[in-house]
Structure formats: C-alpha cells, structure tokens
Chain A
C-alpha cells in the first residue's frame, strides 16, 4: 500500500470514528466512557494524514519523503498487505451499520456476574413511592436474589427491555450489560407471565408485579406477572 493510499485510509478510519461518536452510533458497540477516547483517536488519525499531505505538498522534491532512508533496499513508506484489512471496519460500519446486540446474543450469552457491594447498596435502597415504580431489569433481578424480594411484594414495577425467547416457550424482558465492548456482553432477564410474547427483539415496557418467591435462589430467574405490555422505542444506550 502506498503512502498516499495510507493517507486515504487514515482519513477514512478517523472520519468514521469521529462520526460514530457524534451521532451516538458508538453506543451500540462500546461503553459510554469510550466516547472521548474514540473522538480523540479519530481526530489524531485525521490530523496525521493531513500533516502528511501538508509536508509532502510543501516539498515533494526535497527528497525526505521518497528517498529510502534507513537500511538500503528498504522502502519504509510501504505498508504490508494486511493494512488493506483496515478498510473493512469503516465499510462494515457504513454498509451493514451493525445494530446493538439483541435477542440472538441474549439467548446464548452468559448470565451477568454478581454485582459489586457498592452496586448492591445503591440497588437495595428502599423503592421510591411512585406507582408503578420504574426500575432496571438488573435492579429487579438483584432485589429478587440478594434481598429475597422483601422490597418487591405489593409493588407494581415497570421494566424496560427487549424481548428474547427460550426453548421452553417462555419470553423474557431482557437487557445486556457490557463492561468495555460488545464482545464481553452478559445478559440479565426476567420471565414475563400473563401476556403473549411480542415479536423477538421488540423493545417493551412491562408493567406488573413480582411473582412471589421467583428468582430468590441463585441460578433461577425472577418472574413478573404482567398486567400491561406496551411497545416502546429502543433507548439511546441499549446496554445496562
């Protein structure tokens, strides 16, 4: 790959990184805290190719660009053929425009790991007085397992997540959690009873009450008895 092509490549990769941070596409792939690193990285890559353009247009004949410096016979500005692969991610982002992970992965991912003690403290605080009270799928799950459900009876909760299924005909209101990027996604889900399953991957708000005693043992899944299931648009950041 020639030096000029490398310039096009770096600009393309940099521009795509900048674009996905500006239009929030990056939230489909990585955690929110990656915003600034990606943006800075994109800017660095664009500046890098611009600086190269400036220096080579200023003096293409001064020899510093095209003379093979370093060892004789070596041509330092040619990149290996694998560098062409770097065109792939920007093109995939444009043409496949991969969506955030959904039911396909949730149905085969591992369960979310145990929360840390700080997360537990904040999640197990008394529920606010609203009715129905909106809590995250993870919080509902944690309250059932770690609090033995003491805060859940007699309360109407509403949970937002997407629909995933299992082989036994249950359906779940589901959220995926990521730490760094989508490669380490883990799943948290709650069985929904008393309502027909919406289409797979549809985002829903399930309002209902905790099924007494469900999910209090580790390795079991809590259940919510739905009184209302409404479809909602996917949130801006789809992971929890």
Chain B
C-alpha cells in the first residue's frame, strides 16, 4: 500500500504534542501542490484522531496511516489550496 505512494514532502513532528503536529502540518502542506502527498511522522498518541479530524476539516485526504513502535506515519494528499 504505502509503497505506491509518492511522498513529496516529509514533516518530522516526532516528540511534538497537541496542538503542534497539526499546526506544523498546516504550514508544511502549503509547500506542496494539489495532488501531492505530505508525509507526517508523529509520536503524539492523539495524532490519529487529530489528523483524521484535521483532514476532514481542511478538505485534504488522509490516504493512510501506519504505526510502528510508537511512531505514526500519515500520508496526506493535498486536495485543497
């Protein structure tokens, strides 16, 4: 699944807690074009629910997310300018 996604920008939000991961994601997604994918790496345990909500609210697409050893990796496709 994840292999087929081309990531255009990576945001390292590891170690950050609410609300910083979504605030940094908002800034980072400005740097990519429509249709491109932002990868966010986070360790905040609330990040899954927060990124699901954040994607719905901003109109961007949360393509997938995985968790390995406490590190969450989100793929967010920019769907709105």
Is this pair of chains taken from one and the same complex?
Answer: no
Residues on B close to A: CB < 8 A? Answer: none
